[in-house]
């Protein structure tokens, strides 16, 4: 299919007869391949015939390819390729410009090189068709974007570079600088001269620029794997060398990540977008990063993750030595006012979560680790690195949070609120990290890894954990920690309130004593809060103030509502079960005390009494007249199903037995 383009050529060279024979031979083999593809499609049972023909064609290609490559290499030498590497100023970071023989070619040599380049591309195209057919028979598809003609440009440069690389074994930054310089200096010429030839050869979705960048990266990767990483991996086994090896390894990874970004920037965005949907895009990705080294060496990948994990934990430990790392930077203040705006619960930043600095520091390290492996070409190695380094580092931080909680002691004897503030910091940190992990799990790249992980069943999770969330297990653990720590605070507040108000709820005389003759009616009196109830209310108000100031809005909302529910249950239960015979003055005093309790929750909602349903219903019972109570007693005496009759009266939260006992003990002035 290429012969027609050259049969009309008027250019006469010494290699023209050989070129015509080569193209004619490839034309015949392409025709053979068309027949074989037809057989695979319509006569798949003829497998023995296919093997026989493939064997003969392989013999022909085994002779043909070396000859074509030899002629092409000889032509490159005659063109002055590879150019001399002017590295005299490399070590001073001033590499001078390099002349590009491809751009300097004269007309005759340009024509010869064009013929040879297209012939080599045609031979590779034939090879690719045969390879795809054979792989498809096995049910697999593998594609490679490397062009043989570009590889022939890279190979002689690599042999010259290796001499310089060997001198820079302890200074790898010079290797990266030299490779980048040569790649950048020649990329324009490669694109201008070779891309039209690739298009002429009809190689679909092939880019000279990408193949050139990929070839140079593979060349450097091969040297690093052979001479640098292999040596570091061996030295890491020696105990006395581990620290030095870790430093060298991390420095090399820093250079690789920076180098990959610079090399990828040489490939313009327009071309990358064009190739996203192409079938060999994954092959292109495999060749665009030096991190491809770790794709073929899982042992080095495991070692890299181990080193990164140790380094991350070391940084975290150093940060934890300063107690200020746990400081909550609350710039907005307590803001004890009614706020019904839903936006206050849509938290995003560390400041909005009121999280300590150490939480943001931890997330910063974790995200840096994720970014370090982003250019790794294959999905599963990248997935394994994140699981081995990032996720383990996050669990290490969870252990730090848990250890700090265990060192926090709640004691009623403590006059200060250090324990509450400390625990608020832990809850805020867990909440902030949880929100960020959820955000990261929605990232496209991480979603892709999670889908691949689910398909391969590499990471087994509990059935209760969302399988679509990459960090689902970590988020579930953080959520459990937050819940447990919130319950600790709630339990502590309720226990202390119960201890401080125990005398109050057990004082029958206050609620049962009758009003003295000549005193004002309870409705016209200015009653004050019971003296033995004041301390409990004051401590409760102080604790809620501290929590409002230091706890994130979302968890504080759950906390104060849970505290209100606990107080509601405690007060109503003790009031109904103590068999108090409330007098009219006792009812008024109880109502005054409960209004004081409601007032403490006034800054958090417009109608705090709505969160004390049992107390509200108790007050309703207390405010009933004698006839109304006798009527309810008659109805309730018919059986326990009689509790339904309380619903029209607005009483639905109090237990039947307690209501019945309370009504029988209700006392009225005779």
What Å distances lie between residue 299 and 218, 222, 293, 452, CA to CA?
A: 20, 17, 11, 21
Q: Which of the pair, 178 or 202, is modelled with greater confidence?
A: 178
Residues in Cβ contact with 53 at an 8 Å cutoff, skipping those fewer than 6 apart: 32, 36
| Tens digits of residue pLDDT in 518-539 | 454 455 456 789 999 999 999 9
State the pLDDT confidence band at 462, using cuts at 50, 70 and 90. Answer: low
Q: What is the mean pLDDT of residues 97-110?
A: 82
Q: What is the mean pLDDT of residues 191-211?
A: 87
Q: Which of the pair, 648 or 30, is modelled with greater confidence?
A: 30
| Tens digits of residue pLDDT in 214-239 | 999 999 999 999 999 999 999 999 98
Q: Which of the pair, 342 or 111, is modelled with greater confidence?
A: 111
| Tens digits of residue pLDDT in 613-639 | 999 988 888 888 878 777 777 767 765
Closest to 57 in 3D by CA, of 30, 17, 38: 30
Let me know if 66 is exposed, middle or buried by CB neighbors in 10 A (0-12, 13-18, 19+).
Answer: exposed
Distance CA 235, CA 577 (A): 75
State the pLDDT confidence band at 649, using cuts at 50, 70 and 90. Answer: low
3-state SS, residue 356: strand
Q: What is the mean pLDDT of residues 383-392?
A: 96
pLDDT > 90: percent of the chain: 49
Mean of the per-residue pLDDT values for the chain? 83
What per-residue confidence (pLDDT) applies to 273? 42
Token code pair at residue 431: 């909440």
What per-residue confidence (pLDDT) applies to 644? 64
pLDDT > 70: percent of the chain: 81
Confirm if 575 and 591 have CB atoms less than 8 A apart.
no
Distance CA 224, CA 7 (A): 46
What per-residue confidence (pLDDT) applies to 284? 42
State the pLDDT confidence band at 50, using cuts at 50, 70 and 90. Answer: confident
What per-residue confidence (pLDDT) applies to 593? 94
State the pLDDT confidence band at 140, using cuts at 50, 70 and 90. Answer: very low
Residues in Cβ contact with 459 at an 8 Å cutoff, skipping those fewer than 6 apart: 387, 453
**pLDDT greater than 60 at residue 10:** no
What per-residue confidence (pLDDT) applies to 428? 97
Show the CA angle centred on residue 657, arms to residues 651 and 659, nearest 5°: 35
Q: E strands within 163-222?
A: none
State the pLDDT confidence band at 286, using cuts at 50, 70 and 90. Answer: very low
Calculate the CA 287 to chain-centre distance: 25
**Angle (deg, nearest 10), helices 553-577 and 584-600:** 170
Long-range (24+ apart) CB contacts under 8 A made by 340-343 are 340/606
**pLDDT greater than 70 at residue 43:** yes
| Tens digits of residue pLDDT in 394-446 | 999 999 999 999 998 877 665 568 899 999 999 999 999 999 999 999 999 99
**pLDDT greater than 70 at residue 364:** yes
* Cα-Cα-Cα-Cα dihedral sign, residues 337, 341, 347, 348: negative
What per-residue confidence (pLDDT) applies to 641? 56
Confirm if 175 and 165 have CB atoms less than 8 A apart.
yes
Backbone angles phi, psi at 189, to 5 degrees: -65, -40
Half-sphere exposure of 553 (CA within 13 A, CB side): 24
Q: What is the mean pLDDT of residues 507-524?
A: 61
What per-residue confidence (pLDDT) applies to 601? 96
Token code pair at residue 538: 């004051």
**pLDDT greater than 90 at residue 260:** yes
**pLDDT greater than 50 at residue 348:** yes
**pLDDT greater than 70 at residue 466:** no
What per-residue confidence (pLDDT) applies to 416? 63
Confirm if 224 and 293 have CB atoms less than 8 A apart.
yes
| Tens digits of residue pLDDT in 390-402 | 999 999 999 999 9
């Amino acid at each position: 299919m290429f012969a027609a383009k050259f049969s009309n050529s008027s250019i006469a060279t010494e290699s023209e007869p050989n070129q015509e024979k080569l193209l004619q031979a490839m034309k015949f083999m392409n025709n053979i391949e068309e027949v074989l593809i037809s057989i695979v499609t319509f006569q798949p049972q003829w497998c023995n015939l296919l093997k026989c023909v493939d064997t003969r064609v392989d013999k022909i290609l085994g002779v043909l390819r070396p000859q074509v490559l030899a002629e092409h290499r000889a032509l490159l030498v005659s063109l002055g390729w590879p150019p001399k590497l002017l590295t005299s100023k490399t070590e001073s970071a001033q590499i001078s410009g390099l002349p590009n023989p491809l751009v300097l070619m004269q007309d005759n040599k340009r024509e010869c090189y064009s013929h040879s380049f297209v012939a080599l591309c045609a031979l590779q195209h034939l090879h690719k068709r045969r390879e795809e057919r054979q792989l498809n028979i096995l049910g697999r598809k593998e594609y490679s974007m490397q062009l043989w003609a570009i590889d022939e440009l890279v190979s002689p440069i690599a042999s010259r570079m290796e001499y310089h690389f060997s001198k820079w074994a302890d200074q790898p930054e010079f290797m990266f600088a030299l490779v980048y310089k040569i790649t950048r200096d020649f990329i324009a010429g490669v694109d201008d001269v070779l891309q039209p030839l690739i298009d002429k050869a009809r190689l679909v979705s092939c880019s000279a620029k990408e193949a050139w960048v990929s070839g140079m990266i593979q060349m450097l990767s091969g040297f690093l794997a052979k001479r640098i990483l292999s040596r570091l991996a061996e030295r890491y086994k020696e105990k006395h060398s581990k620290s030095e090896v870790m430093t060298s390894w991390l420095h090399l990874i820093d250079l690789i990540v920076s180098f990959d970004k610079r090399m990828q920037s040489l490939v313009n965005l327009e071309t990358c977008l064009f190739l996203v949907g192409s079938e060999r895009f994954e092959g292109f990705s495999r060749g665009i990063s030096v991190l491809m080294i770790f794709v073929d060496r899982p042992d080095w990948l495991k070692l890299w993750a181990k080193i990164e994990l140790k380094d991350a934990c070391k940084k975290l430990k150093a940060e934890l030595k300063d107690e200020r790392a746990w400081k909550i930077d609350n710039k907005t203040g307590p803001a004890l006012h009614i706020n019904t705006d839903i936006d206050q619960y849509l938290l995003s930043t560390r400041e909005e979560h009121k999280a300590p600095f150490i939480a943001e520091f931890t997330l910063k390290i974790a995200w840096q680790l994720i970014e370090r492996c982003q250019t790794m070409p294959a999905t599963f190695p990248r997935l394994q690195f994140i699981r081995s380094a990032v996720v383990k580092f996050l669990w290490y931080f969870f252990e730090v949070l848990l250890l700090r909680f265990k060192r926090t002691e709640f004691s009623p004897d403590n006059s200060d609120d250090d324990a509450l503030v400390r625990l608020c910091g832990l809850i805020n940190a867990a909440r902030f990290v949880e929100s960020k992990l959820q955000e990261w799990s929605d990232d496209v790249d991480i979603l892709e890894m999670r889908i691949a992980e689910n398909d391969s069943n590499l990471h087994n999770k509990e059935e209760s954990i969302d399988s679509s969330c990459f960090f689902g297990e970590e988020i579930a653990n953080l959520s459990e920690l937050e819940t447990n720590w919130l319950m600790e605070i709630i339990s502590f507040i309720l226990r202390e309130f119960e201890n401080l108000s125990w005398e109050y709820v057990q004082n029958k005389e206050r609620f049962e004593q009758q009003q003295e003759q000549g005193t004002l009616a309870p409705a016209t009196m200015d009653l004050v809060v019971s003296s033995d109830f004041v301390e409990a209310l004051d401590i409760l108000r102080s604790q809620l103030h501290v929590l409002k100031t230091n706890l994130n809005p979302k968890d504080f909302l759950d906390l104060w509502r849970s505290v209100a529910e606990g107080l509601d249950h405690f007060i109503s239960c003790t009031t109904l079960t103590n068999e108090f015979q409330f007098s009219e003055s006792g009812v008024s005093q109880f109502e005054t005390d409960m209004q004081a309790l409601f007032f403490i929750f006034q800054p958090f909602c417009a109608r705090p009494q709505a969160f004390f349903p049992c107390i509200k219903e108790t007050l309703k019972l207390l405010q009933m007249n004698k006839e109304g109570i006798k009527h309810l007693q008659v109805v309730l005496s018919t059986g326990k199903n009689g509790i339904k009759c309380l619903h029209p009266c607005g009483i639905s939260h109090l237990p039947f037995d307690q209501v019945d006992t309370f009504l029988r003990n209700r006392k009225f002035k005779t």
